[in-house]
Amino acid sequence: MTLKEKVYEKLENNRDDYISGQLIAEELGISRNAVWKAIKRIRKDGCKIDSVSSKGYRLAKNADILSEDKIRKNMNERSRKLSLKVLDTVDSTNNEAKRMISDGFASDALIISNEQTGGRGRLGRNFYSPKNTGIYMSFIIHTDLKLSDAVSVTTAAAVAVVRAIEKLTLIKPMIKWVNDVFINNKKACGILTEAVTDFETGSAQSVIIGIGINISTEDFPEEISESATSLNLQGISRNTIIAAVSDELTEICSDLNDKSYIDDYRKHSLIIGKEIDFYRNNVKMHASAEDIDNNGGLIVKLPNGETETLNSGEVTVRLSD
């Protein structure tokens, strides 16, 4: 743990009270000047720290710094086996994962960034990823799944996010097929799964699961300001949420042939039983959402009474007006 992280930990462990620079220095065995420099670096990272003469320092209520050490401490034994990479900024955590795989990286891993300058969503869309206010992470999972089965990983990731949120909060998230998690009918999380394939065997050598969660973002771009929201949690750090999502996802992915998690997906579906429009090749079609199959496909009933299963990547689904 770096000196900056040690000082931050002291502040985090005393969130409700001010702690003097002298006490921090004594407990860490460093000088007052070293404490002041560490505080300055923490503030430079975008973390707000209140200071009062004769009282000392205190983290602001919304202060939240990503820490590899804190993430690992909150993880369960299975998640701790992941290689962990924490970045301040990156174009896209999925892109970083692809670069790592291209360079020969062969372990399961979790890449996290405090900011994305080119966050990506499905169908070429952008994912707004401002500094300090969200969770932007990608899992690298090496698997022998058939490419046709790898799409179910997106479903698994959505369930992992929902389970983590419900374990930590009283929030009741819902899943909009196939890859969005909604809070109060607004999008709070998006998931982008990409496969690195072996064309000879037709299998997915590696699967990259990108997850973006709005934690405290308030000023969204105009085009999504009415449809996006944040979890707006109090007293729960991003480190804790990252660890919880990791625990849930690694548990599900330890046996992707076990489809029991689909039951949770169905229970949290935003669209089952509702009228929907789906788009195929830019042609709008109407249907009713009937169910989710065991591979995460959306079973719909068309106006002519026929049923059809829609698969990830081929449609966009919107609730009918």
Determine the pLDDT at residue 212.
Answer: 98
User: Measuring CA to CA, which residue among 161, 157, 125 is closest to residue 139?
Assistant: 157
Domain ranges of the chain: 3-59, 68-267, 275-319
Exposure of 173 in the CB half-sphere (CA atoms within 13 A): 30
Domain 3-59 bears CATH identifier 1.10.3720.10: no
Read off the pLDDT of residues 269-291 as tens digits, 9 standing for 90 and up: 999 999 999 887 788 899 999 99
Average pLDDT over residues 73-97: 96
Q: Is the pLDDT of residue 311 over 90?
A: no
- At 166-179, the pLDDT tens digits run 999 999 999 999 88
Q: Is the pLDDT of residue 230 over 70?
A: yes
Query: Which fold would CATH assign to domain 68-267?
Result: BirA Bifunctional Protein; domain 2 (3.30.930)
Pick the closest to residue 302 from 286, 291, 317, 290 (CA basis).
286
180-183 sheet: strands from edge to edge: 83-87, 109-113, 134-142, 203-214, 186-198, 180-183, 174-176
Cα 259 from Cα 155, distance rounded (Å): 10
> Cα Rg for the chain, rounded, in angstroms?
21
pTM for this prediction:
0.88
Determine the Cα–Cα distance for residues 257 and 261; give it in Å rounded to an integer.
Answer: 10
CATH hierarchy code of domain 275-319: 2.30.30.100
Mean pLDDT calculated for residue range 24-41:
94
Query: What is the distance between the alpha carbons of residues 51 and 253, in angstroms, rounded to a whole number?
Result: 45
- pLDDT at position 199: 58
Rounded to an integer, what distance in angstroms lies between the CA atom of residue 235 and that of residue 15? 9
Q: Which residue in 86, 144, 131 sits closest to 111, CA to CA?
A: 86
- Could you read off the pLDDT of 133-151 as tens digits, one per residue? 999 999 999 877 666 666 6
Separation between Cα atoms, residue 28 and residue 3, nearest integer Å: 9
